[in-house]
Amino acid sequence: MNEGKIVRVNGPLVVAEGMQNALMYEVVEVGEYRLIGEITRIEKDRAYIQVYEDTSGIKPGEMVYRTGSPLSIELGPGLLGRIFDGLERPLDGILELSKSPFIKRGVKVNSLDRHKKWYYKPIVKKGDTIEDNDILGTVQETELIEHKILVPPSVKGKIIDTVEEGNYTVDEPIATIDMNGDRKELYLMQKWPVRIPRPYSEKLEPTEPLLTGVRVTDTIFPMAKGGTAAIPGPFGSGKTVTLQSLSKWSEAKIVIYIGCGERGNEMTDTLTSFPKLKDPWTGKPLLERTILIANTSNMPVAAREASIYVGITMAEYFRDQGYDTLLVADSTSRWAEALRDLGGRMEEMPAEEGYPSYLASRLAEYYERAGRVRTLGKPPRYGSVTVASAVSPPGGDFTEPVTSTTLRFVRVFWPLDSSLAQARHYPAINWLQGYSAYVELVADWWSKNADPKWKEYREYMVKTLQREDELRQIVRLVGPESLAEKDKLVLDVARLIKEAFLKQNAYDDIDAFSTPQKQVRIMKLISLYGQKSQELVEKGISVKRMNEKITIVTDIIRSKATIKNDELEKYDELEKILLKQFEELSKEV
C-alpha cells in the first residue's frame, strides 16, 4: 500500500499528497505519532484527512500510512460493562498503558481483550450449511446477557470444522467453513464498518412499549421498542438526568450510552453508580447490560463525530442477536457541531447557522438505523434498536437547525422546559408541547397487562392538563378566586396530576422507578378523585371545603415515594379512605 506525505496541517484537518487510489472514509495513520484519521475528501492524489487526535507538533513532510479499510469496530464478547472512547478504544486500557490520568496521543489498544477466555458453546455442527447472521453458538458474557456468536454478514458456506465446547479467546478460530471452495475461519469476534448499517431481513412497525419506569414517559408520551425520541432542552432542564433514568430503568436488554461531547464527571458518575444499581427487571447489576462510549467535550472533535456511528453499530449488532437495545446519545447537538467544525475547516459552503448542508441527511441516516426488525439468519428472531437522543438548542430555542431538523425524523418528542426545571418539577417534560406517535400502538399492551382503562385514565389526565392551561390564561387576568367552582376544580385536579403523577424524583429509592401496575394505581386514584369531586361540586360543595375535608390527598401525593412497587395493596387502603372521606362530605350536600 502506498504512503502519502503531509503537505498541510490545520487543526484536525491534515492534507496529504501521493495518496493515489485512496478510498473515501479509509482509515489512515498520520505522522510519526501514527495518529488515527479518516479520509473525507479526495482531489487527484491529495487526500483530506480528518484526524481523531490532537495534531500539535505534526509537520508537513511527515508520512501518512494507509490501512486500506474503512473505520470499523470489533464486535464480540467483552463489550458489556466497558467504557470506550469515540473510536472504540477502551479507556481503562488506555489508562493502564499510558500510566497517566490524561489521554496520550497515538495509543493503540485492542477494543476487545485478546487474553480473556470465554466459555463458548457451539450450536452448529460439522456439515451444517450456514449463512449470514446464523447463530454459531453462545457465550454467557455476563450473568444477564447470553452473547450469541453470529456468522458475519455476507459469509455463507458449509462447516468443515468446529471446536468443542470450551474456553476460547476472541481471536482463536471456533469454526472453519468452506466458502465457494475457500477455507474461511470464523472467530468469536467480527468487524463491521461503522458508517454502514448492518443488514436485516425486514423492518416492522413497533408494537410493544419500551417501559421506562418513568411515569410521564410511559403514560403520557410512551416510547415503543424500535422507536425514536428526541429530548431537547436548555441547559439545566434535566436532559442528562432523563437520559440516565432511561438507561437505568428502561426495559431494554442492552443499553448503549454515548456521552458525545458532554461532561467527564457525568461519565464517571455512570461508571461508578451502575455497578451498584440493580436492574429492576432482573435484579442484576446494571453495568452488566450497559456499554459506555465517552467522548467528552474536551476530547478531540473528530472522534466525537465518529462516536455516534460506533454506538449505533454496537446497538445493531445486539439487535441482530435478537435483543431489544436502547441507544442513548447525549447530545446530538455536539455531534452536529463537530460536523460544522470539520465542514468549516474543509471550506465547505455552509447552510443554516454555519451547519453543513448535509446535516439533515446525516441526522436522517442516524435515526433511520433505529427500528424493530426481523433479523437475518437462523433461528428466526426479532430485535430492535430504540434511539433516544438529547438535543441542546442554543438558548433553549427549539427553532434552531439541529432541533427543528431532528423533529422531522423522530416520533416521540420529550421537550424539556426550563420553567418547570426551575420549580424543580422533574422530569421537566412539557406536557402540552410533547407528543408520541405510539400511544395507539401501545394502548393494547397496557390494557392487557396493566389496566383495561389505561387509555381512558390517560385521556382524562391529558384533557385536564390542557383545560388547566386554558384556565391559567384567565387566572392571569382575573385571579383564581373569580373562577367558577367547576373550573377551580380543574386546577385542583391538575395540581394533583402534577404532584402525584408527573413529578418523579430520580434520586429517591422508591420513586425513581414505577412499574406499570403502580402507575395505573395512581392514575386510577386521580381519576376517582376527579370523578367524585366533580359530582359533589355540581351539587354545590365548594372546592375549598373539599380541600379541607379530603385530607387523604396529601397521602396520595406522597404515595409515589412511600408505597413500593411490590406493596401495591396499600393503594386499596388509600382508595378506601378516599371513598370514605367523599362519603362523609356528601352528607353536607
Partner 1 sequence: MSIIGVREYSNIGSIKGPLMVVQGISDAQYNELVEIELPNGERRTGLVIDAGMGSAIVQVFEGTSGISPSGVKARFLGRGLEVKVSEDMLGRIFDPLGTPLDGGPEIIYGERRNINGEPLNPAARQYPEEFIQTGISAIDGLNSLLRGQKLPIFSGSGLPVNQLAAQIARQATVRGEETNFAVVFGAIGVRYDEALFFRKFFEETGAINRVAFFLTFANEPPVKKILTPKTALTLAEYLAYEKDFHVLAILIDMTNYCEALREISASKEEIPGRQGYPGYMYTDLAQTYERAGIVKGKKGSITQMPILTMPNDDMTHPIPDLTGYITEGQIVLDRGLYNRGIYPPINVLMSLSRLAKDGIGEGKTRDDHKDVSNQLFASYARAIDLRGLAAIVGEDSLSEVDRKYLLFGELFERKFITQGVTENRPIEKTLDIGWEVLSELPESELTNIKLTYIKKYHPLYREKK
d(CA 343, CA 180): 44
Q: 32 vs 456, which CB is nearer to partner 1?
A: 32
Q: 32 vs 161, which CB is nearer to partner 1?
A: 32
**Residue 18 in the binding site for partner 1 (CB under 8 A):** no
Nearest-5° Cα angle at 249, 243 to 252: 90
Nearest distance in Å: CB 330, partner 1: 11
**Residue 267 in the binding site for partner 1 (CB under 8 A):** yes
Q: Residue 192: helix, strand or coil by DSSP? A: strand
User: Is the bond preceding 394 in cis, omega lying within 30 degrees of 0?
Assistant: no
Residues 319-330, buried b or exposed e (16+ Cβ, 10 A)?
bbbbbbbbbbbb
Residue from 25, 235, 435, 445 that binds partner 1 (CB under 8 A)? 235
**Residue 396 in the binding site for partner 1 (CB under 8 A):** yes
Give the x/- contact pattern for partner 1 in 527-556, rule: CB under 8 A. Answer: -----------------x------x--x--
Residue 141 Ramachandran class (φ > 0 left, ψ -120 to 50 alpha, else beta): alpha
Query: Quick one: three-class SS letters along 117-135?
Result: CEEEEECCCCCCEECCCCE
Residue from 152, 350, 365, 549 that binds partner 1 (CB under 8 A)? 350
| Residues 478-517 within binding reach of partner 1 (CB under 8 A) | 478-482, 499, 505, 507
**Residue 81 in the binding site for partner 1 (CB under 8 A):** no
Nearest distance in Å: CB 239, partner 1: 10
Residue 29 Ramachandran class (φ > 0 left, ψ -120 to 50 alpha, else beta): beta
Residue from 86, 137, 261, 530 that binds partner 1 (CB under 8 A)? 261
Q: Which three cell numbers stand for residue 445?
A: 399492551
Q: Which three cell numbers stand for residue 139?
A: 457465550
| Residues 40-69 within binding reach of partner 1 (CB under 8 A) | 54-61
Extended strands (E) in 370-495: 371-374, 382-391, 412-413, 435-436
**Residue 264 in the binding site for partner 1 (CB under 8 A):** yes
Residue from 69, 298, 361, 586 that binds partner 1 (CB under 8 A)? 298
Residue from 69, 154, 167, 268 that binds partner 1 (CB under 8 A)? 268
d(CA 175, CA 148): 14
| Residues 82-121 within binding reach of partner 1 (CB under 8 A) | 83, 91-92, 94-95, 100-104
Which residues lie closer than 8 Å to 58 by C-beta, 6 or more apart?
A: 6, 9, 14, 30, 31, 32, 33, 35
Let me know: does 246 contact 328? Beta carbons within 8 Å: yes
Q: Which stretch binds partner 1 (CB under 8 A): 137-145, 229-237, 401-409, 524-532?
A: 229-237
**Residue 395 in the binding site for partner 1 (CB under 8 A):** yes
**Residue 376 in the binding site for partner 1 (CB under 8 A):** no
Q: 213 vs 300, which CB is nearer to partner 1?
A: 300
Establish how many alpha carbons lie within 13 A of residue 171's alpha carbon, considering only the half-sphere containing its beta carbon: 8
**DSSP β-ladder status, 26-30 and 35-43:** antiparallel
Nearest distance in Å: CB 510, partner 1: 11
H helix or E strand, kind and range, residue 362: helix 359-367
Q: 24 vs 474, which CB is nearer to partner 1?
A: 474
Nearest distance in Å: CB 18, partner 1: 12
Burial of residue 1 (number of CB atoms within 10 Å: 0-12, 13-18, 19+) = exposed
Nearest distance in Å: CB 520, partner 1: 22
Q: Which stretch binds partner 1 (CB under 8 A): 6-14, 64-72, 276-284, 408-416?
A: 6-14
**Residue 265 in the binding site for partner 1 (CB under 8 A):** yes
**DSSP β-ladder status, 146-150 and 135-140:** antiparallel
| Residues 136-175 within binding reach of partner 1 (CB under 8 A) | none
Q: Residue 538: helix, strand or coil by DSSP? A: helix
**Residue 526 in the binding site for partner 1 (CB under 8 A):** no
| Residues 437-476 within binding reach of partner 1 (CB under 8 A) | 475-476
What phi and psi, each to the nearest 5 degrees, are found at residue 310?
Answer: -60, -45
**Residue 8 in the binding site for partner 1 (CB under 8 A):** yes
How big is the site for partner 1, counted in residues (CB under 8 A)? 80
Q: 378 vs 549, which CB is nearer to partner 1?
A: 549
Nearest distance in Å: CB 179, partner 1: 40
d(CA 492, CA 560): 18
Extended strands (E) in 164-207: 166-168, 173-179, 182-187, 190-193, 202-204
Q: Which stretch binds partner 1 (CB under 8 A): 188-196, 216-224, 350-358, 516-524?
A: 350-358
Q: 194 vs 301, which CB is nearer to partner 1?
A: 301
Nearest distance in Å: CB 60, partner 1: 5
**Residue 296 in the binding site for partner 1 (CB under 8 A):** yes
**DSSP β-ladder status, 35-43 and 290-295:** unpaired
Q: Which stretch binds partner 1 (CB under 8 A): 108-116, 401-409, 415-423, 574-582?
A: 415-423
Nearest distance in Å: CB 446, partner 1: 28
d(CA 156, CA 170): 20
* Angstrom distances, CA of residue 33 to CA of 70, 94, 99: 20, 15, 17
Length of the chain: 589
**Residue 433 in the binding site for partner 1 (CB under 8 A):** no
Nearest distance in Å: CB 544, partner 1: 7
Q: 210 vs 390, which CB is nearer to partner 1?
A: 390
Residue from 230, 260, 271, 310 that binds partner 1 (CB under 8 A)? 271
**Residue 357 in the binding site for partner 1 (CB under 8 A):** no
